[in-house]
Amino acid sequence: MNQHATKAKAFIQDEARTNWHDEALWFIRAKRDQATALVAEWEALRELASGIKDHVLGNLDQYLEQFSERAIANGVQVHWARDAREHNQIVLGILQQTNATRLVKSKSMLTEECGLSDYLVENGVSVVDTDLGERIIQLREEPPSHIVLPAIHLKKEEVGELFHEHLGTPAGLSDPTQLTEAARHHLRDHLVGCDAALTGVNFAIAETGGVVVCTNEGNADMGVHSAPVQIHCMGIEKIIPRAQDLGIFIRVLARSATGQPSTVYTAHHHRPRPGTQMHIVIVDNGRTEQLGRPDFRNSLKCIRCGACMNTCPIYRRSGGHSYGTTVPGPIGSILTPGFDLKQHADLPFASTLCGSCSDVCPVKINIHEQLYQWRQAVVEAGLADPAKVQTLNLSGAILAKPWWYRITGRLARLALRWAPRWLVYNRWNTWGQDRELPPAPRESFQDWYRKKHKA
Amino acid sequence: MRVALFIPCYIDQFYPQVGRATLALLERLGCEVVYPLGQTCCGQPMANAGCERDALQTYHHFVKTFSDFPYIVSPSGSCVYHVRQHYDVIDQTAVVQAIRARTLELSEFLIDVLGIQAIPGARYPHRVGIHASCHGLRGLRLGPSSELRGSQPPSGIHRLLEQVADIEIVTLDRSDECCGFGGTFAVSEASVSVKMGADRLADHLRNGVEVVTASDMSCLMHLEGIIRRRNYPLRVAHYAEILNTTGV
Ligand code: SF4
């Protein structure tokens, strides 16, 4: 079943809201356009960022070892997790060893991917997300709909209602500044009393053994600075070789994400403060498998800026939840089939292959070409709709034989011209539900040409 | 100049006037145009739907049909892109390589090979919105993509249309957003597809366009389907039809 199409159809039912969602994301894309237009060497930066990431993926084993050695030398405790389960167990283990029961967590798509929060809560840990957007969706008990703007699908009035219910703000309050202020007070209580703080990682520097976390609200840093235990969880692909490479990525990341020159906070964490612990959990969870697929390996270059979502005309009109994945949108549709092709076989088809994602991507991932390749993989694996495959099978046979092609074309046009409207626009005619079929001329170009040249 | 004309299957069947306009235009510019009779399709409909394997026989048929020509010209950026980009899966014989290199979208041929900057005599007194079809734009780089930075000249199609007498080219709010056709996407994701098309048309309507043109008739087939269903005051025309007008 095509889950994306079904959910997208439901999303579009509310046309005003769809338009609002499209405009909200297009606004961010426009800010990205303005910000990048001010950087004369933008395309050169993309090229460099892409090249560095390619190089890292080709030498990942060495860089990971170097990174972990340096981090350990800095007094950091490094853990390796093969999959989501191991990752969750490691984090729980750290918390149990340090008697931590109150964890503050800052935006990490990896922990979403691993389902960490639910796991910790089941094991008696209180988990509070400290990014405003993350906190909003945590209170709503739903997954993020975007990797940078997790609550972008919600209107300020809905946030107002939510805060009224959970934080006791006055009913009907929807002023963003006042709502943010209320959230700040609410979060501050959690930040001050926490036992441990966990963050994601934007970049891990092999040369220094340090991790870099880019945020706009600073709550990630506040958590790390107030907790006796800090934990940073990263996928193996977060590595960059040298500190000096960071300049390139910092310059492209925030501009691509929101049109800011850089994020408000760029925190570098290298070693624990005296008397505290610092842990880094390095996670594979299917990444080495993806690395081993030549057509798809460079999807691991992604720096999670979200630009491909903002630009995607389908994402903007179907919403992040329609993808049913942790990472939605174009990049999600090439990453997630690698985890479970059967479950996500519809995603490579949730695209027109327009290529906007590939052109906007700051690390030049050929997203739309990989979508094309995943489509082939889906059909090869026998996971496509059999009726569709049979139709295309037949089309392939017809189109390879000029004579068949001419006859079939002629019959189809004849049928279209003479069949009554109710028959043509039946309920199986998906094209015709909201569109007219093309005109069916008496004569094809080829018929006309043959006649003309006989004469 | 001797050229082979490739008229993609859906143009052949549904929009023969676009084939005739392309042929007439090339002849008007002094080309000796051959239309190989056995031609069918480039194979894209199957391949884009994941059935590349079913497309292979069509690829071979295309190669066989067009192996003898210095240039293969087509009024479809999407099909040309498919030949150039995706015929990499068949044996790369000298013939296949030559075909991939010399299959050109109409405007590429007019500008890069013939060196033409304007079509003498063309006249089109209408307000025209140019829909930048994605495969031509981001696949063949026929024009500037709004995502890329640095200087990018206007598309050749835009430059040629600009020279047509009495035409008015309308600037759109979103210069290169996809129309939502996308081959089988138009059917498998019909809701999103139609919404995308309607949004594109709203942009043209808002800006007072009379005629929507493009380098791909497939985009226009989809847009026209919505126009006719909703009775929008818009028409579609392939840019070859506009260039092939007379009247000056
Ligand atoms: S694929 Fe590229 S554009 Fe999309 S989130 Fe990753 S880095 Fe950003």
Among B9, B10, B29, B1, smallest CA distance to B243 is for: B29
pLDDT at A1: 58
User: Smallest CA–CA separation between A196 and chain B, in Å?
Assistant: 41
CA distance between the termini of chain A: 53
Are residues B75 and B238 in contact, defined by beta-carbon separation less than 8 angstroms?
A: yes
Residue A368 CA to ligand 1 center (angstroms) comes to: 12
Residues B107 and B7 in one domain: yes
pLDDT at A388: 86
Q: What is the mean pLDDT of residues B178-184?
A: 96
Q: Retrieve residue A50's tokens.
A: 């892409």
Inter-chain CB proximity A5 and B189 less than 8 Å: yes
At A212-228, the pLDDT tens digits run 999 999 999 999 999 99
Are residues A91 and A80 in contact, defined by beta-carbon separation less than 8 angstroms?
A: no
DSSP secondary structure string, A263-330? -SEEEEE-SPPTT-EEEEEEE-TTHHHHHT-TTTGGGGG-----HHHHH-TTHHHH-GGGG-SSS-HH
Please tell me whether residue B232 adopts helix, strand or coil conformation.
coil
Q: Retrieve residue A352's tokens.
A: 């027109």
Give chain B's mean pLDDT. 97
Select A1-38+295-384's CATH number: 2.60.120, 1.10.1060, 1.10.150, 1.10.3470.
1.10.1060
Whether B141 is covered by a domain: the verdict is yes
Quick one: DSSP state of residue B147?
T
Of A384, A399, A448, the CB nearest to B9: A399
Query: A359 contacts in B (CB within 8 Å)?
Result: 138, 145, 147-148
Residues B103 and B176 in one domain: no
Whether B121 is covered by a domain: the verdict is no
The domain limits of chain A are 1-38+295-384, 40-285, 394-454
Whether B248 is covered by a domain: the verdict is no
CB burial string A77-98: b at 16+ within 10 A, e below: ebbebeebebbbebbbebbeeb
Percent of chain A at pLDDT > 90 equals: 88
Whether B53 is covered by a domain: the verdict is yes
Pair type for strands A126-129 and A196-199: unpaired
A107 has pLDDT over 80 = no
Q: Retrieve residue A261's tokens.
A: 């020159």
Query: Could you give the CA distance from residue A451 to residue B6 in angstroms, rounded to a whole number?
Result: 18
For position B218, which CATH number holds?
A: 3.40.50
- For residue B188, the chain A residue with the least C-alpha distance is A5
Return all residues near A27 (Cβ < 8 A) that are at least 6 apart: none
Whether B183 is covered by a domain: the verdict is yes
Residues B141 and B239 in one domain: yes
Counting the structural domains of chain B, the total is 2
Query: CB-based burial of residue A126 (10 Å sphere; 0-12 exposed, 13-18 middle, 19+ buried)?
Result: middle
Give chain A's mean pLDDT. 95
Quick one: DSSP state of residue A98?
T
Whether B118 is covered by a domain: the verdict is no
Our answer on whether the CB atom of A312 is closer than 6 Å to any ligand 1 atom is no
Residues B142 and B60 in one domain: no
Radius of gyration of chain A (CA): 26
Our answer on whether the CB atom of A254 is closer than 6 Å to any ligand 1 atom is no
Q: What is the mean pLDDT of residues A358-387?
A: 96
Size of interface A-B (CB pairs under 8 A): 226
B198 has pLDDT over 90 = yes
Touching check for B207 and chain A: CB below 8 Å? no
pTM for the full predicted model: 0.96
pLDDT band at A387 (very low <50, low <70, confident <90, very high): confident
- Asked whether the CA dihedral B204, B210, B215, B219 is positive or negative, the reply is positive
The phi, psi pair for A387, rounded to 5°, reads -60, -40
Inter-chain CB proximity A348 and B177 less than 8 Å: no
At B69-89, the pLDDT tens digits run 999 999 999 999 999 999 999
Residues B29 and B133 in one domain: no
Are residues A198 and A91 in contact, defined by beta-carbon separation less than 8 angstroms?
A: yes
Our answer on whether the CB atom of A303 is closer than 6 Å to any ligand 1 atom is yes
- Which residue's CA is the nearest one to ligand 1's atom 2? A361
Our answer on whether the CB atom of A35 is closer than 6 Å to any ligand 1 atom is no
Are residues A95 and A120 in contact, defined by beta-carbon separation less than 8 angstroms?
A: yes
Q: What is the mean pLDDT of residues A369-380?
A: 97
Whether B59 is covered by a domain: the verdict is yes
pLDDT at A239: 98
Q: Retrieve residue B97's tokens.
A: 């390589």
Query: B63 contacts in A (CB within 8 Å)?
Result: none
Among B63, B158, B44, B153, smallest CA distance to B103 is for: B63
Query: Could you give the CA distance from residue B36 to residue B211 in angstroms, rounded to a whole number?
Result: 31
pLDDT at A455: 67
User: Smallest CA–CA separation between A246 and chain B, in Å?
Assistant: 22
A295 has pLDDT over 70 = yes
Query: For residue A123, which amino acid is it?
Result: N
DSSP secondary structure string, A146-172? SSSSTTTTS-HHHHHHHHHHHH-PPTT
Among A299, A358, A283, A360, smallest CA distance to A332 is for: A299
Query: A318 contacts in B (CB within 8 Å)?
Result: 192
A125 has pLDDT over 90 = yes
Inter-chain CB proximity B20 and A439 less than 8 Å: no
What CATH number was assigned to the domain covering residues A40-285?
Answer: 3.40.50.10420
Residue A256 CA to ligand 1 center (angstroms) comes to: 9
Select from B52, B84, B113 the last residue of a domain: B113
Of B20, B52, B137, the CB nearest to A448: B20
Inter-chain CB proximity B138 and A435 less than 8 Å: no
> In what side-by-side order are the strands of the sheet with B2-5?
B32-34, B2-5, B72-74, B103-105
Strand partners, B104: B73
| Ligand 1 nearest atom to the CA of residue A311, by list position | 3
At A1-31, the pLDDT tens digits run 589 999 999 999 999 999 999 999 999 999 9
Which domain range does residue B40 map to?
2-113
Query: Could you give the CA distance from residue A4 to residue A85 in angstroms, rounded to a whole number?
Result: 27
Quick one: DSSP state of residue B135?
I
Are residues B11 and B19 in contact, defined by beta-carbon separation less than 8 angstroms?
A: yes
Q: How far is CA A294 from the centre of its chain?
A: 21
A324 has pLDDT over 70 = yes
Our answer on whether the CB atom of A327 is closer than 6 Å to any ligand 1 atom is no
Residue A221 CA to ligand 1 center (angstroms) comes to: 24
Q: To probe the interface with B, which of A352, A380, A410, A442 has the most B CB atoms within 10 Å?
A: A352
A160 has pLDDT over 80 = yes
At A225-261, the pLDDT tens digits run 999 999 999 999 999 999 999 999 999 999 999 999 9
Inter-chain CB proximity A354 and B50 less than 8 Å: no
